[in-house]
Amino acid sequence: MVSNEPLKILFIQVSRNATTEYEVHRTLADGADPQKITTYFFWQRSKGWDESSPTCRPQDYFFDFGRDLSIEPKPTKVRRAFMMFTRFPTNFVRLCGLVRNIRPNFIYVSQQRHDLYLAVVMKLLFKIPYVVHVHYPVGPWLGQATLAILPRSRHAIACSDFVRATLIKNGSDEKNIKVIYNPGRLDRFLLPRKSHPFRDECKIPSNAPVIVSAGRIDPEKGHDELVESFWQVSDRFPEAYVVICGRTFGNERYETRLVDRVKALGLERRIFFLGQRRDLPEIFADSYIFCLPSLEEAFGLVFIEAMAAGLPVVGCQSGAVPEIVINGVTGLLSEPRDQKKLAANLELLLLNADLAAQLGKAGRARAQTEFAPALIANLWTAHIFLLHQKIAA
């Protein structure tokens, strides 16, 4: 018999605190109907996210498993292992007490291995089923233990059809996987176009077309493809500029090579690296094209954010990007590593302001209708209820 009481979902998020998947989980929780679902969060205490945050709720619980990745300087592996060894036992007992007190209907985790480990242990100790929400392509990079657990997970959500296919390829039963696209917090990107201070930072004229890119600085994101493709059209469009927002996570050599290549091409006054930015909505609102030719993108929230900002998207037919960006309707897509076609797509939009505006308008409409938080949260809630009904039957 299924109770009419709200389902209780406990999110365990101890591996990292600032990853995209945790932001998605919070968006789902915030958007869920409180009469249907009550959500609780178990967080790794972090300087970047702790009890002092104004967005915290009474259902947020903070513990320290030694996984705070905001610590500077970054601890060595030995130091990190010591931190976890000394802090884990006490906080594991506290987590067990929390689970006994709440008695959630589901434990909810991402594919992050420490989160997944705890979900499996909670299932063994308390017979509480868990849902694993997979936000990365599945492969050896997730670690052998994670690859062993995922195929045995009976309740999985994939953030895209692309990720679902990688789950199946690595042994998961397709009947156990539901695809639910990531929601984006899009309201902050619905800004009117106006001049923004980043142009003053880079000495970019107020009327110059700006191609903006945003994402971690990593070979998978294709920033080198953007640089080479822009170089191919730079002489024809001397008034155009590129700004790249984001930072590297342990791949400083790639970033150095990228900056050196820009200098070698003589584009250091037309391609700017702005680092991690908190003002992306304003930068998007004062740009002309969004370009991120990434490879095997699991989803890419930044694509729907760019579309919500009304920007035409230039990218690749790779990963989940074609599930988000409709080629010829909300953007222009080329095959991965095809610099010539990527350059041609940039050129087409730089030449044709009407087409760029048309694609941007269609993209904004698609972002607001297909990826709105309320819509995705409702789909997510319905699926959680369906899982609960199947278990209770």
Residue 340 lies in a domain: yes
- Looking at the structure, do residues 156 and 193 belong to the same domain, yes or no? no
- The whole domain housing 357 covers 187-370
CA distances from 249 to 225, 252, 255, 368 (A): 19, 8, 10, 31
CA distances from 281 to 185, 302, 311 (A): 11, 11, 11
- Looking at the structure, do residues 178 and 247 belong to the same domain, yes or no? no
Residue type, 296: E
Please give the angle made by the CA atoms of 274, 53 and 81, to the nearest 5 degrees. 80
C-beta neighbour count of 116 within 10 angstroms: 23
Tell me the per-residue pLDDT of 382-391, one tens digit each, with 9 for 90 and over.
999 999 999 9
**Structural domain total, the chain:** 2
- Looking at the structure, do residues 169 and 250 belong to the same domain, yes or no? no
- Looking at the structure, do residues 336 and 202 belong to the same domain, yes or no? yes
Tokens of 23: 């932001």
DSSP 26: H
Reference 131, options 193, 196, 177; nearest CA is 177
Question: φ, ψ for residue 126 (rounded to 5)?
Answer: -120, 0
Can you tell me the distance from the alpha carbon of 87 to that of 98, in angstroms, rounded to the nearest whole number?
A: 17
pLDDT of residue 298: 94
Residue 212 lies in a domain: yes
Residue 2 lies in a domain: no
pLDDT of residue 18: 52
Can you tell me the distance from the alpha carbon of 81 to that of 75, in angstroms, rounded to the nearest whole number?
A: 9
Residue 105 lies in a domain: yes
Can you tell me the distance from the alpha carbon of 197 to that of 204, in angstroms, rounded to the nearest whole number?
A: 10
- Looking at the structure, do residues 125 and 238 belong to the same domain, yes or no? no
Residue 162 lies in a domain: yes
- Looking at the structure, do residues 220 and 258 belong to the same domain, yes or no? yes
Count helices and strands (H / E) in the chain: 14, 13
- CB 130 within 8 Å of CB 120: yes
CATH of the domain at 51: 3.40.50.2000
Can you tell me the distance from the alpha carbon of 230 to that of 213, in angstroms, rounded to the nearest whole number?
A: 12
- Looking at the structure, do residues 262 and 229 belong to the same domain, yes or no? yes
- Looking at the structure, do residues 159 and 200 belong to the same domain, yes or no? no
- CB 63 within 8 Å of CB 44: yes
Residue type, 276: Q
Tell me the per-residue pLDDT of 100-128, one tens digit each, with 9 for 90 and over.
999 999 999 999 988 999 999 999 999 99
- Looking at the structure, do residues 299 and 193 belong to the same domain, yes or no? yes
pLDDT of residue 72: 77
pLDDT under 50: residue ranges of the chain: 1
Categorise residue 66: left if φ over 0, alpha if ψ from -120 to 50, beta otherwise.
left
Can you tell me the distance from the alpha carbon of 41 to that of 109, in angstroms, rounded to the nearest whole number?
A: 10
